[in-house]
Structure 1
């Protein structure tokens, strides 16, 4: 009989994610995929999504054969940062379209595009705060030897 919910087949990161039996070095490598994405994003400004993806991808490439726990966390970090990069690209494109609409209407369209621009700015702020909070939670979960799946994430790397 299974003693922990982490030992069931439903655990998305597998049985190694239960915390018990996850070595300290595995926890550190898994956490580095998440924390590295945050650090690289802060250091690279507008290329945050690309740099964040690189952290997860680098850890995945280096350690995927060594530990399922590390590989699962690295995949999640990559996929989440890819998702947010695409979200920010979509927001930037929408912003450019709003500017274009304002210019094409000789400024008269600002009545509609200005409120839409404010909504886009608020959405970008919400996404950025969500990215930061989720990245920190994922780092702590990895350090504790626990599984973590980011919400609203395209899972491209499986």
Structure 2
């Protein structure tokens, strides 16, 4: 595979996580699936794409774990808020749903920022190591 094609596929792999997380309303692991499919297709054609794919896949797994943790924490806080508000003031429990509705915004923003940095590095032919990453796939 020539260097231009490697860079192009590395860009696709880096951006697949953002696209998958945006479409994640259908599947909560859309970001992982998108990167995994591209990495599995191209990993044997280039060591650069294999390395980029592993890094992107590990980062997307990390972002999904972070989103799950944020969801659990905010669900717990929202539930406590609803129960205490309902118990103490007899007000509507609908507030907790509004409170928790923007829960994954920070995870999505982190994903976008680091994926764009990875895309820029990939377009220059450089391997990018995400700073927030559990390296589970080796």
TM range (shorter): 0.7 to 0.9
1:119-138 aligned at under 5 Å gives the runs 124-138=104-118
The offset of 1:125, in angstroms, is 3.5
Unmatched 5+ residue regions in structure 1? 1-21, 109-113
Q: Partner residue of 1:71?
A: 50
* Matched-pair contact (CA < 8 Å) for 2:71–2:104: no
CA–CA distance in structure 2, aligned partners of residues 46 and 93 of structure 1: 19
CA–CA distance in structure 2, aligned partners of residues 130 and 136 of structure 1: 10
Cα shift readout 1:98-147 (whole Å, capped 9, x = no counterpart): 12223444444xxxxx9xxx7x8898433322211111111121111011
* Matched-pair contact (CA < 8 Å) for 2:24–2:31: no
CA–CA distance in structure 2, aligned partners of residues 107 and 92 of structure 1: 24
CA–CA distance in structure 2, aligned partners of residues 28 and 56 of structure 1: 14
The offset of 1:157, in angstroms, is 0.8
Q: Partner residue of 2:74?
A: 95
1:30 aligns with 2:10: yes
The 1:107–1:31 alpha-carbon spacing in structure 2 relative to 1, beyond 3 Å, is: farther
Q: Partner residue of 2:119?
A: 139
TM-score by length of 1: 0.69
Unmatched 5+ residue regions in structure 2? 89-94
1:55 aligns with 2:34: yes
CA–CA distance in structure 2, aligned partners of residues 84 and 73 of structure 1: 16
1:45 aligns with 2:25: yes
Report how many residues are paired. Answer: 129
CA–CA distance in structure 2, aligned partners of residues 78 and 157 of structure 1: 8
